[in-house]
Structure 1
Amino acid sequence: MLCGHQARLQLALELGSDACDLPQWRAEPVQLVVLPTHMFVSNAARYPVLRKDHQAEIKRWMDHAVAYVIRQSDDDEGVDLVDYVRYLRFLAGTLEDPSAAAAASAEYRDVLQAPLQPLMDHLESATYETFEMDLPKYDHYEHAMLRAIQDAPQKELVLMVVGAGRGPLVTRALRAARQAGRSVRVVAIEKNPSALVELQLRNAKDWGHQVTLIRADMRGWVPAERADILVSELLGSFGDNELSPECLDAACRLLLAPHGVCIPQSYSAYVAPLSSTLLHARAQAYGGGHGLETPYVVNIHAAHILAEPQAMWSFSHAQASDQLLGDNRHNQRRASATFGIGASSLVHGLAGYFDAVLYGNVELSIRPDTHTEDMHSWFPMYFPIKVILSHASAIHG
């Protein structure tokens, strides 16, 4: 703090015999972890090893790309440090292989990304491709569509995918219709011209021209026949930050039949106080001096979440909206929460999450305690604060 959180100031952390779980230090710029030889005990073959609780702590640090230093204790002079090094290498070899989702997102650890703005900008093909790799997300959407199709009383259904992109939800909608054994007419609406070309190719090659393609903005197109089921994947890392409420309000008003259902039906935003010297330093250096005035999408890693996330607000699309197009007052939200923080910590901002009810009991979540298994479409949000809070026992705001 005296150095103004200078990014070039790094730490060497020396562990002691009481070191078991030190999450607050993983939020600091630790480059070296020093292990004194007195932390080790001898096994039956008289080789140095660590206790199980120390093993777990060292493995956690191995996931943070630090270097290790073996420091010889005063009463251990003359010992062969090579055995200690060999043991650490053995310990590294026992680390579990990351899941496919973790491996795919590892390169984005603590990388600040500006949130997407799909309403204003046409997404690139590479962005769509990244989304399409997240099979668990689309498995849940397919299950939600299947349940909605099965529950619908009509003999023939119209299902509209709004913001269809390159068509992953369209494929899942057709599959859900086949599984349900129902007659479903699928309509895909997309305003991005390059994505529409991909949809046309897929309609010819993969879907047998079963899909009606519409190039339009979902907020302004008026169909001859309204949808029984409306499906969207506009959700952002904070739930509403990619203008999902505003877009779906208009889509539900113009496109959805009075008896129809929207997938997702609702979603909620959550925040938690966060400590991370690295993220704050990167935000401060981002964007030509205004980096602390904007949120980021981040695969948060070198950080300590200081309290359980708390719900801020929710949006619901369970029924067709009768709000006037362009009137956004009903989407204004404010929230207040108090967080108790157990240990003295630096607070560098807030981590943001969301969960969503797609349909019935089919849900998606990026909250740490309820995270949908292996889903990696959304990283959390990071909201930096300009003035770092120190030695806080509670934060309110």
Structure 2
Amino acid sequence: MAVQAEAPNVAMEGCDVFMVPYRFDAKELRWTPTGEAAAAVKMSREAAKSWRIVVGNQGVPLSEIRSASTLGPNFLVLDLIKHGQIGLRCDDESGLKQFATELSKRRADYERFEQYEQSSVQSYFQYYAKLSNQQNMLQDSVRTSTYQRAIVENPDDFQGKVVMDLGAGSGILSFFSVQAGAEKVHAVEASSMAEVVRLLSNANPFLTKKVEVISRPVETITTSELDGQVDVLVSEPIGTFLFNERMIESYLCARDRFLKPGGKMFPNVGTICIAPFSDSLLHWEQQNKNGFWKNTNFYGIDLTAAVQRCTREHFRQPVVDYINPDCLVSKCIEKRFDFKTITIESLHTIEIPFDFEISQPCLVHGIAGWFDAFFEGTNQTVVLSTAPTCPGTHWYQIRFLLEVPLAVNAGQHVEGTLKMEANNLQSYYISIFMRIQGTNISSSAPCIDLKDPEYRFYTSANSYCPPGTGQNAAPQAAPPAQSQLQYQQAHFAQTQNVLPGQAAFTPAQPAPAWEAGAHGAPVPGAPMGQPMTNGFAPHA
């Protein structure tokens, strides 16, 4: 029944049932007992992410199980990849159901963790194991102070409670939880940064007996190791455009397995906001990065055959930088994700349909995006916004470029879909299709790689700095979250949310005369307020 287990058996809570193993006899076409006596069936962990079903002293790794199904009320069939099938008969129907349920959950967690390329997982943990990268996040004062405010100013949710800090990093959210009165904090950190959490906890006496560090991925932890479920789940699982790195899926995994019914999540809601933008300089930059490959005599070699591939490569890169709100040519729309209710599977494909009314004649060069995170506590609600109208953060904003821009007149609608497809690199491929409503004029961005952005903030091309951020300053120069309110009022007014106040809207800059027009037609630099055409035919 596969190989001998190399580690002591660790029974999962509620999974100790007694069964007789069977094998399928292909000659007689029936299941026959193996001759072994009834044995305890458990789940055992050999390493951080290696689980197996153990019957007596023999085990089957989860990686070898193709599927598991029940035949009748008390017979479980394990379909193995290499060794045929194994049947398990149990006299206790409820015990079999419980075991089958736990097996299904464990296999789902295993498959979710194992789906990523190991090189991606390794580089991910190596990145977050560096103090310099932790420092960059800690010095983002908007991020850090917003989390502190969300936790400390909701004492009713933390005082005397058991908390799990998922992806603890340097441990700052664990420490805030203790400051808010938590009785116990499980700091889960899979990278070697867990050693720093222990170091800082031991150096601060008020933390020493409160913070327990678990240095493994959350998918490999059992409820019995935590002495039960937790009251509160805190995490900073947010990546670029909210979902890059796919850490939110681990956040939901922790919710499903460790959070008590009615428990609190910080954050509990995230929103993605998108809006069309017009930025002729940015588009021209990307379009002309192929200049080297236009060389017809590079040491005697004609390189021009690679020009088109180079252009596509640059347009596949999203651009991460601070966006001047003046570039936005419509109000944004948002898609809301309730972390208390959404499923992991629902995040494998995300579609955001849109219908934007364009505010002035312009070339639409693509879609801009950012996110907000909400901490809806018992005492108060705190919002972390990365909108262009708010102080800057280390997440910046993001833009997805159309290789062929659309020329649109004021009052016209641009409709389409932004689609995100999860990949095994802990990220997403993004495609965009947009069309001028009522016409057949359209453009698209077929395959943008969210994991491979261009960080334009670090170049001299973008001189814009968001409110509250010094010229060419790092994100940590932004004021604390308490000062975000005045900026959030303008932001939420533009998204038609609840806060009062109306932000002024400034038209985008005109396209320069040297820009290639929509669909490749030459378009002179038309001043704002003048009708635009799409090369093929004018449109109303």
TM-score range, shorter chain: 0.5 to 0.7
Q: Could you list the runs of 5+ residues in structure 2 that have no partner in the other structure? A: 1-119, 291-308, 417-540
SS at match of 1:306: coil
Deviation at 1:350, TM superposition (A): 1.0
Match of 1:159 among 163, 180, 185: 163
**Which residue in the other structure is 2:277 paired with?**
274
Count of residues in correspondence between the two structures: 264
Deviation at 1:263, TM superposition (A): 0.8
Question: 1:245–1:331: 8 Å Cα contact kept in structure 2?
Answer: no
What aligned pairs does 1:47-196 form with structure 2 within 5 A after superposition?
A: 121-122=124-125, 123=127, 124-151=130-157, 156-177=160-181, 183-193=182-192, 195-196=193-194
The verdict on how the C-alpha distance between 1:375 and 1:363 changes in structure 2, with shifts beyond 3 A counting, is: same
Provide the identity percentage.
25
Q: Which has the higher contact order (CA 8 A, sep 6+)?
A: 1
**Which residue in the other structure is 1:203 paired with?**
201
Deviation at 1:213, TM superposition (A): 0.5
* Counterpart residue type for residue 385 of structure 1: L
Question: 1:170–1:186: 8 Å Cα contact kept in structure 2?
Answer: yes
Using the size of structure 1 for normalisation, the TM-score is: 0.60
CA distance in 2, matches of 1:147, 1:268: 22
* Counterpart residue type for residue 382 of structure 1: R
Question: 2:189–2:214: 8 Å Cα contact kept in structure 1?
Answer: yes
Deviation at 1:125, TM superposition (A): 2.7
* Counterpart residue type for residue 140 of structure 1: T
Question: 1:160–1:230: 8 Å Cα contact kept in structure 2?
Answer: yes
**Which residue in the other structure is 1:239 paired with?**
242
* Counterpart residue type for residue 129 of structure 1: Q
* Counterpart residue type for residue 415 of structure 2: H
CA distance in 1, matches of 2:375, 2:122: 21
The verdict on how the C-alpha distance between 1:118 and 1:167 changes in structure 2, with shifts beyond 3 A counting, is: farther
> C-alpha offsets along residues 134-161 of structure 1, whole Å, 9 cap, x if unaligned?
2332222223223554146xx7411111
Deviation at 1:368, TM superposition (A): 3.6
The verdict on how the C-alpha distance between 1:217 and 1:140 changes in structure 2, with shifts beyond 3 A counting, is: same
Larger strand fraction of residues: 2
Asked if residue 395 in structure 1 is aligned to residue 414 in structure 2, the reply is yes
* Counterpart residue type for residue 168 of structure 2: A
> C-alpha offsets along residues 41-86 of structure 1, whole Å, 9 cap, x if unaligned?
xxxxxxxxxxxxxxxxxxxxxxxxxxxxxxxxxxxxxxxxxxxxxx
Asked if residue 219 in structure 1 is aligned to residue 216 in structure 2, the reply is no
The verdict on how the C-alpha distance between 1:343 and 1:264 changes in structure 2, with shifts beyond 3 A counting, is: same
SS at match of 2:245: coil
Deviation at 1:301, TM superposition (A): 4.1
Match of 1:363 among 375, 383, 390: 383
What aligned pairs does 1:225-374 form with structure 2 within 5 A after superposition?
A: 225-284=228-287, 285=289, 288-289=310-311, 290-301=313-324, 304-311=327-334, 313-318=335-340, 328-329=345-346, 332-360=349-377, 361-369=381-389, 371=390, 374=391
The verdict on how the C-alpha distance between 1:120 and 1:255 changes in structure 2, with shifts beyond 3 A counting, is: farther
The verdict on how the C-alpha distance between 1:229 and 1:293 changes in structure 2, with shifts beyond 3 A counting, is: same
Q: Which moved more, 1:122-131 or 1:299-308?
A: 299-308
Deviation at 1:318, TM superposition (A): 2.6
The verdict on how the C-alpha distance between 1:309 and 1:145 changes in structure 2, with shifts beyond 3 A counting, is: same
* Counterpart residue type for residue 218 of structure 2: M
Question: 2:271–2:336: 8 Å Cα contact kept in structure 1?
Answer: yes
SS at match of 2:170: coil
Question: 2:322–2:388: 8 Å Cα contact kept in structure 1?
Answer: no
Question: 1:128–1:166: 8 Å Cα contact kept in structure 2?
Answer: yes
CA distance in 1, matches of 2:201, 2:167: 16
Larger Rg over CA atoms: 2
Question: 1:276–1:303: 8 Å Cα contact kept in structure 2?
Answer: no
* Counterpart residue type for residue 363 of structure 1: V
